[in-house]
Amino acid sequence: MQNEPPDGVQKQFIPVEEVDASPQGGPTALAGGIALAATWDPELVRRAGAVLGDDARARGVHILLGPGVNIHRAPMGGRDFEYFGEDPFLASRTAVAYVEGVQSMRVCATIKHFMGNNQEYDRHNVDSRIDERTAREIYLPTFEAAVPQAHVCAIMDSYNLTNGEHMSQNGYFNNEVAKKQWAFDGIIMSDWDSTYDGVAAVNGGLDLEMPAGDHMNRATLLPAMKQGRVSAATIDDHVRRILRRAVQFGWLDHEQADPSIPVYNVRGREVALEAARSSMVLLKNNGGLLPLDKLKVKKLAVLGPDAYPGQPVGGGSAGVRPFHAVSFLEGLANYAGGAVRVTYAPGIPTLSEMADRTDFITEISGTAKPGLKYEHFLSNDLSGNSAENGIDEHVNFGFEWPSFYSIPGRFRSARWNGYYLARDAGKYEAFVQGPGEDGAYRLFVDDKLAVDNWNRATALVNYALLDLPAGPHKIRLELRRLFGDPNVRLGIVNQATVVSPDVATIAGEADAVVVAVGFDPSSESEGADRTFRLPPGQDVLIQAALAANKNVIVVITSGGGVDMNAWVDRVPALLESWYAGQEGGTALAQLLFGDTNPSGKLPVSFDRRFEENAVSRSYYADPAESKKVTYSEGVFVGYRHYDKAGVQP
């Protein structure tokens, strides 16, 4: 197993080689945005914002690219963990406090992603169709509150289109709504590479193209000015807005870096711990299992992929690498000391280990070799002759894939063919972990489409439950990737054998069991959505723990609700930890042992089935309808009842 704890897990010191000691490194990893919203405590959020401002000033950073405030529309949203939930009032109060805290340290806060970016899949192309009332009552209020109430420095436009126009050139929302109706006098900037037309963006209210002037530049704009398509007054207004903020925040006459502020933020640790404690939500506690009693619990088993190492935040640009993140395992072991014996097992392999343990053969004849045959294409749609052929024993390419780099050209795709040998008949989970943004994959098993992330890339990690007889099964995996580092993993695991045998032993000998499951930066991240189901193998792990011990506490790391139907009725204690930041392990231990009363509240609805969600019929865009996403929920975001056939009566 790769998730082995360091020797002496009771120590909270991180190995020197893992410390990022650069001037930009080691900032405070606070609980994620959804966790801050779960505290329902604006004053705590304000202090958290000030901590982020401290960290920025210590490093000479002028602009913080947060907070993200998009309304939580569905639990699968890849960046839901950054945002402040589904309620516009709660999100607004949280956002205002966050911005005030950051800007109290003379650091510019940026409220994002404006607007209609309520999903991550295909975010450059999705067109969010939102009627005026729904926009005004649900999706705009948090942005609006940040302008007159918190005087936010900057607004970041989103990648997507809203009502037919890319937000970086959407004059209605940028000029009419933000600048005129809200009297916003600050900077509207693009998200990274989300500017598509320089002239349209300048006229549509965009003040600053990030990360460079690829479209809004001299070569593009000067001819447009000479032709009368862009006015000098428009350019002056954009420049004036940027300079205005530089003057207001004192950047022109003061050094931003403040050497009196420690790079290692002790105050930040205290706030991070308080935020983690205040955000975790106790969802279930049958039979009074919690709080744990040190006098009765002498052996505590800690299981699960999210037990160690710590998962302070989700993936993407919101990622933070602190000096050290206290994992759940470390927090519980440190708290227990010598009074409670803490044992640990990850319980299931990592996705990389699952991929390496999945054996393929190229043929079912006597000429078979281990692995799958691959073809690499110059095109991004598997067309044309393959540029390279060979055999991959396993499909397990994380973020390094040397063979792909040998293919020249920007557009590329790949196909693998072969057979998987099922040793026994049973239920198998076939998963693919692949590219999110600007990439796609699909898996065929016995010529049937099993995992489809092709025309509508729904998740970084997607998988199918298959009933397979023993013997060979035909496999075809296809991948396309437009740019960036190609990455893909393919694994097929038998549910009967995926859980490590030591789970039954460790759980069976314990007085109580903590099972830490959920997501991490490789499965819940910017650039793609996630599944509503827990990642591969985790439901089976929880069931195995329950089979060995009745005193099971499930702790979920996620940005929102997950499908719990396979086990929730049998689990006595259930806790939602969100992404708890660098002090998550310490906070969890204090909550489970009763030092602190769980006080977090849900800032989002938790669906038993996604079909009960108000947006279940309209969340995903229809590729045949120009990728339009119609926000058909209107202003109704409550519970909807469906019968067993999925039909609303």
Integer CA distances (angstroms), 19 to 5, 264, 269, in order: 17, 11, 16
Angle at 84 between CA 82 and CA 89, to 5 degrees: 165
* Omega within 30 of 0 (cis) for the link into 211: yes
Asked whether 596 and 589 are in contact (CB, 8 A), the reply is no
Could you confirm whether 306 is annotated as catalytic? no
Which tokens is 618 given?
């309209």
- What gap in Å lies between CA 229 and CA 249, rounded to an integer? 33
Calpha distance 175→185 (Å, rounded):
11
Which distant-in-sequence residues (6+ apart) come within 8 Å of 272 by Cβ? 28, 29, 30, 31, 48, 51, 581, 582, 583
The span from the CA of 447 to the CA of 470, in Å, is 17
User: How far apart are the C-alpha atoms of 135 and 259, rounded to whole Å?
Assistant: 44
| Strand residues in 538-631 grouped as ranges (E) | 552-557, 573-576, 628-630
Neighbours of 288 (CB within 10 A): 8
Selection from 27, 163, 145 nearest residue 92 by Cα: 145
User: Dihedrals φ, ψ of 61, to 5°?
Assistant: -90, 130
Catalytic site residue from 191, 520, 529, 607: 191
In three-state secondary structure terms, 463 is strand
Closest CA to 535 of 618, 432, 634, 453: 432
Sheet holding 161-162, edge to edge: 165-166, 161-162, 127-129, 628-630
Nearest 10 degrees: Cα torsion 231, 237, 238, 244? 160
| 3 state SS of 26 | coil
> What's the rounded Cα separation, in Å, for the pair 263 and 21?
9
- With both helix axes pointing from N to C terminus, report the angle between 584-592 and 266-279 in degrees, rounded to the nearest 10: 50
- Residue 162 forms beta bridges with which residues? 128, 165
User: Treating both helix axes as pointing N-terminal to C-terminal, what angle do 328-336 and 584-592 enclose, rounded to 10 degrees?
Assistant: 50
Buried b (16+ CB within 10 A) or exposed e, 502-517: ebeebbeebbbbbbbb
Contact between 171 and 124 (Cβ < 8 Å): no
Which amino acids are annotated catalytic?
A: 191
